[in-house]
Amino acid sequence: MMTPHNGAQMGDFAKTVLMPGDPLRSKFIAEEFLENPRLVNEVRNILGYTGTYKGIPVSVMASGMGMPSIGIYSYELYQYYGVENIVRIGSAGSYVERLNVRDVVLAESAYSDSTFALKTSGATEKTMYPSEELNAIIMSKADELGINCKKAVVHSSDAFYTTPNVGGWQDIREQTGTECVEMESFALFHNANMLNKRAACILTISDSFCTNEVLSAEDRQNSFREMMRLALESAIAF
Ligand SMILES: O=P(O)(O)O[C@H]1O[C@H](CO)[C@@H](O)[C@H]1O
Ligand SMILES: O=c1cc[nH]c(=O)[nH]1
């Protein structure tokens, strides 16, 4: 079953797909962590692989950046490829001092003023929720692995670059209670809930709005090993 955006056949994806925004983070995870990784999609260079981790099938495929992009890929994986679980593994900018660069964060909810949900299904909620079951497994795996995984309310933004006239990150933080920003989890959680599937989002802080630290493109691609291990160990426990 091919789609306009995915060249894989039905059966090519495992029941759980890890989903970074960056296609080269997807390639890195497949080559570094999966046994016998097989490239199953390269349409638009949205690299997708299936292999095994500790003998259990797991897939990893990029989402691209932003809600329209993850909206397409997650919908097709759930609806046409029989995927049950998608775990976004992304980078994020921190709005608060308790979330430092390289900290691992689990989204407990995603707030957005995006129209993605409204346009997709008519949903008017501004907060979308991940699967409680997946989150519980991820937190318990983090404990087992000795990873300090911090839960946070995430802001899913439609814009990466903003100008001063639209209100700054401090206003957003105060008005919404969000603690870090990324660009996809609201749409992913919406699609999972709409299709009776499961989703979660683990993030690594790559930028701090408080300290102005910024990680390099290479670090964002290859260095988030704690998040990758946590996602893989959780995936085989789902
Ligand atoms: O590192 P990824 O997973 O792409 O996530 C974050 O990075 C991109 C912006 O730099 C957006 O996609 C944002 O959500
Ligand atoms: O500041 C950031 C960092 C990563 N991703 C975002 O969307 N914003």
CATH of the domain at 83: 3.40.50.1580
Residue 91 Cα: closest atom of ligand 2: 4
Tokens of 187: 């749409």
- Domain membership flag for residue 8: no
Print the domain residue range for 76. Answer: 16-235
**ipTM of the complex model:** 0.97
Instruction: Report whether 185 contacts 110 (CB < 8 A).
Output: yes
Residue 91 Cα: closest atom of ligand 1: 1
Alpha helices (runs of H) in the chain, residue ranges in sequence order:
23-33, 67-80, 116-121, 132-145, 169-176, 185-194, 217-222, 225-235
Q: Which of 15-29, 130-144, 182-196, 215-229 has the lowest average pLDDT?
A: 215-229
- Domain membership flag for residue 137: yes
Beta bridge partners of 154: 110, 180
The ligand whose atoms approach the alpha carbon of 180 most closely is: 2
pLDDT of residue 110: 98
Closest residue by Cα to atom 8, ligand 1, is 65
Annotate 43-66 with DSSP letters as a single string: GGG--EEEEEETTEEEEEE---SS
Which pairing describes strands 127-128 and 48-53: parallel, antiparallel, or unpaired? unpaired
Number of domain units in the chain: 1
pTM: 0.97
- Domain membership flag for residue 75: yes
What are the backbone dihedrals phi and psi of residue 118, each rounded to the nearest 5 degrees, phi first?
-60, -45
pLDDT of residue 221: 87
Instruction: Report whether 235 contacts 58 (CB < 8 A).
Output: yes
Please say if 207 is a catalytic residue.
yes
- Domain membership flag for residue 165: yes
- Is ligand 1 within 6 A of the CB of residue 233? no
Q: What is the pLDDT of residues 130-185, one digit of tens each?
A: 999 999 999 999 999 999 999 999 999 999 999 988 878 999 999 999 999 999 99
- Is ligand 1 within 6 A of the CB of residue 119? no
Tokens of 45: 């260079």
Rounded CA gap, 234 and 238, in Å? Answer: 6
